[in-house]
Structure 1
Amino acid sequence: MKRTEARQKALQALFQLDSTELTIEEAIGHVLEEEQKSNAFLEQLVRGTTENIEAIDAALEKNLEKWTINRLPKIERTILRLAVYELLYAEETPNKVIMNEAIELSKTFGDEKSSKFVNGVLSKFTEQ
């Protein structure tokens, strides 16, 4: 599984975890296709984002203008959490790659304004 696909699967798993009582393993299992195996990067993204959610949300709150984390549409909130996890905790991936992947996710799963919003919020993390 390529990293782009792992990010898509992680986004889908995190989206489920945001509104259900599923375990991390169940959420990952739901997004994998039949006989598809999880991989270490997918697991790292989902577990890392989930385990660091309070710090991620606090960092996001500081960079949201006129928004709170709970007012964000669920898909944008989930994309931002995933990207901020990578920006803060996964130093092996360049920031530009993380930003680009998050923008692509927002184009795929969000509406026409999602990518500009995600780009604007994440750019504040890379300027610091």
Structure 2
Amino acid sequence: MSQTKTNARKAVVQALYQWQMTGQSLISIELQFEEDGRLKGVQKSYFKELFHGVPECLDVIDEVLSEFVDRPVDVIDPVERAILRMGVYELMHRPEMPYRVVLNESINLAKDFGADGSHRYVNGILDKVAQAKRAVEIKSKVQGARQKAQD
């Protein structure tokens, strides 16, 4: 996994958090991040796709999340909510990105930015979303592992 994509996800979580908390426009937040130098070492095209993609698909993302969370999406901790929304977006819109990568990156972000134990919550929710949205990928990985074990 490229470090510039990992850095893009970190910046996206921070930008989504700011957007959720302030309601500022995406453009103004993105400009602020650029001016503050927070997009150095970031794959900017990936940052833009995720940061603009999550709000564009917010209704669908929150609908998916609401199937798997134990409370209304809007009362989830804002850091966890930003991470979950980004993770759901990637699971649904980036099929070339292995689901395990999305989960691992999201878990690491929750460890870096979230409250104690939030990585377990994020993992549990995104794993359920992956089971639902990436069932074919998960099934083929399991079958591949079984085949290797038999060989």
Question: What residue is the counterpart of 2:68 in the other structure?
Answer: 63
Residue from 117, 120, 125 that aligns with 2:121: 117
**Structure with the greater alpha carbon radius of gyration:** 2
Question: Aligned residue for 2:99?
Answer: 95
Q: Which moved more, 1:23-32 or 1:91-100?
A: 23-32
Q: Aligned residues, how many?
A: 127
Which structure has greater helix proportion?
2
2:90 to 86, 90, 111: 86
- Who is 1:11 aligned against? 13
| Contact map agreement 1:9 1:28 (CA 8 A) in 2 | no
Which segments of structure 1 move beyond 6 Å, counting only runs of 4 or more? none
Query: Would you say the 8 A contact 2:5–2:43 is kept in 1?
Result: no
Letter in 1 for 2:87: A
Rounded to whole Å, the distance in 2 between the matches of 1:10 and 1:89 is 16
In structure 2, what is the equivalent of residue 46 of structure 1?
Answer: 51
> Under a length normalisation based on structure 2, what TM-score does the superposition of the two structures give?
0.78
Percent identity of paired positions between Structure 1 and Structure 2: 31
Quote the Cα distance in structure 1 between the aligned partners of 2:96 and 2:29: 25
More off after superposition, 29-38 vs 8-17: 29-38
* 8 Å contact from structure 1 (residues 86, 98) kept in 2: yes
Please give the TM-score of this superposition, normalised by the length of structure 1: 0.91
Gaps of 5+ in 1: none
Contact 1:76 1:118 in 2 (8 A): yes
